[in-house]
C-alpha cells in the first residue's frame, strides 16, 4: 500500500520528478547559444536539435493530420520555416515553444487542407470534454450510506516493472491515446508524453490554463481507465 500523505505539499514533490524528466533534451546547450550557433551556420548544432526534437514533433503533428507521411512533411516544413524565421526569433518565448508554435500552425493548415473531420479552428473544450471522468456508478448513490463515496475501491494494480506486461502496457497506452478526442490527445501528448510545462503548452496552443486542465484531466482519466481495464483482465486476479 502506498505511503499515506500527511504533509500538504508532499504529493507535489513526487510529481516534480515526472514533470522534470529530461525529455526536452537536457543535453542541449542553452537556447541563446543554440540560436547563435544556428545563425552562424553551425550544422552540428542543427543536427543536435533535429535529433532532440523531431520525434516528439512528429508525434504532435500526427494529432493534426491523417497519415504518418503527412506528419513527416509537417515536421520538415516546420524546420524549414524555423530556418527562415531564425533571424526574427526574439527570444520572447523559449526556443522550443517558438518552434512548436510554428509546428502547430503548420499542422493545422495541413489538417484543414486534408479536410480532417475535426475543425481546428478552436482548441477550446467542447461537449465531449465535460461531465464525469469516472463512471458515476462507481460511487454510492443518494439512498446509500455514503453518497458520493466509492462503491468499491479501484482495484490495486500489480507491479509490472521488468515483466512482459511492461512492454504490453506501452501498446495499450498508445492505443488509448489514439482513441482520445483530438484536442485531448494534443494536450496530453504535449504535457505527459513530451513533458512540456503547463505554461509552454498554453502558449503553444493559445489556450488558458483552465481549459488546458479540462482537456488534460479527461485524457489522463481515460488512459488510466484503459490501463485499469487492461490490468484487471491481464492479471488473473484483479482483486486487492
Q: Is the dihedral of CA 119, 122, 127, 131 positive or negative?
A: positive
Q: Which stretch binds other proteins (CB under 8 A): 26-34, 101-109, 114-122, 209-217?
A: 209-217
- The CB-of-90 to other proteins minimum distance in angstroms stands at 20
Q: Report the residue count for the chain.
A: 240
Q: Is residue 133 a contact residue for other proteins (CB under 8 A)?
A: yes
- The CB-of-157 to other proteins minimum distance in angstroms stands at 6
Round to whole Å and give the CA distance between 86 and 183.
Answer: 29
Q: Is residue 211 a contact residue for other proteins (CB under 8 A)?
A: no
Q: Is the dihedral of CA 10, 12, 15, 19 positive or negative?
A: negative
Q: Is residue 33 a contact residue for other proteins (CB under 8 A)?
A: no
Please, which of residues 72-101 interact with other proteins by CB under 8 A? 72, 75-76, 79-80, 83
3-state DSSP assignment of residue 150: strand
Q: Is residue 121 a contact residue for other proteins (CB under 8 A)?
A: no
Round to whole Å and give the CA distance between 89 and 99.
Answer: 10
Q: Cβ–Cβ contacts within 10 Å for residue 93, how many?
A: 17
Please, which of residues 96-115 interact with other proteins by CB under 8 A? none
Main-chain dihedrals φ then ψ at residue 183, nearest 5 degrees: -65, -40
Round to whole Å and give the CA distance between 120 and 144.
Answer: 44
Main-chain dihedrals φ then ψ at residue 156, nearest 5 degrees: -65, 145
Q: Which stretch binds other proteins (CB under 8 A): 28-36, 43-51, 100-108, 109-117?
A: 43-51
Q: Is residue 136 a contact residue for other proteins (CB under 8 A)?
A: yes
Q: Is residue 213 a contact residue for other proteins (CB under 8 A)?
A: yes
Largest CA distance in the chain: 72
Q: Is residue 36 a contact residue for other proteins (CB under 8 A)?
A: no
Q: Quick one: which of 126, 66, 77, 69 has its CA closest to 104?
A: 77
CA angle 63, 66, 70 (to 5 degrees): 95
Q: Is residue 130 a contact residue for other proteins (CB under 8 A)?
A: no
CB 234 within 8 A of CB 168: yes
Q: Is residue 205 a contact residue for other proteins (CB under 8 A)?
A: no
Q: Is residue 139 a contact residue for other proteins (CB under 8 A)?
A: yes
Q: Is residue 11 a contact residue for other proteins (CB under 8 A)?
A: yes
- Contact residues toward other proteins (CB under 8 A) are 1-2, 4-6, 8, 11-12, 14-15, 18, 21, 23, 41, 43, 46-47, 50-51, 54-59, 68, 72, 75-76, 79-80, 83, 132-134, 136, 139, 147-150, 152-154, 156-157, 169-170, 173-174, 177, 188, 192-195, 198, 209, 213, 216-217, 220-221, 223-224, 227-228
Amino acid at each position: 500500500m502506498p505511503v499515506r500523505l500527511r504533509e500538504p505539499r508532499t504529493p507535489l514533490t513526487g510529481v516534480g520528478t515526472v514533470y522534470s524528466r529530461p525529455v526536452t533534451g537536457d543535453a542541449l546547450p542553452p537556447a541563446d547559444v543554440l540560436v547563435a550557433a544556428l545563425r552562424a551556420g553551425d550544422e552540428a548544432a542543427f543536427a543536435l536539435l533535429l535529433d532532440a526534437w523531431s520525434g516528439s514533433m512528429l508525434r504532435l503533428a500526427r494529432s493534426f493530420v491523417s497519415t504518418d507521411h503527412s506528419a513527416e512533411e509537417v515536421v520538415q516544413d516546420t524546420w524549414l520555416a524555423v530556418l527562415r524565421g531564425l533571424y526574427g526569433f526574439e527570444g520572447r518565448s523559449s526556443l522550443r515553444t517558438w518552434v512548436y508554435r510554428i509546428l502547430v500552425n503548420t499542422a493545422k493548415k495541413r489538417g484543414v487542407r486534408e479536410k480532417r473531420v475535426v475543425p481546428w479552428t478552436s482548441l477550446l473544450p467542447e461537449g465531449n470534454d465535460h461531465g464525469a471522468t469516472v463512471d458515476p456508478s462507481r460511487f454510492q448513490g443518494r439512498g446509500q450510506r455514503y453518497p458520493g463515496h466509492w462503491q468499491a475501491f479501484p482495484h490495486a494494480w500489480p507491479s509490472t516493472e521488468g515483466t512482459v506486461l511492461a512492454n504490453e502496457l506501452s501498446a495499450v497506452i498508445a492505443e488509448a491515446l489514439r482513441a482520445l478526442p483530438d484536442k485531448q490527445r494534443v494536450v496530453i501528448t504535449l504535457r505527459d508524453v513530451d513533458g512540456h510545462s503547463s505554461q509552454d503548452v498554453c502558449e503553444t496552443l493559445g489556450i488558458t490554463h483552465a481549459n488546458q486542465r479540462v482537456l488534460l484531466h479527461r485524457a489522463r482519466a481515460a488512459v488510466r481507465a484503459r490501463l485499469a481495464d487492461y490490468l484487471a483482465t491481464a492479471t488473473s486476479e484483479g482483486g486487492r
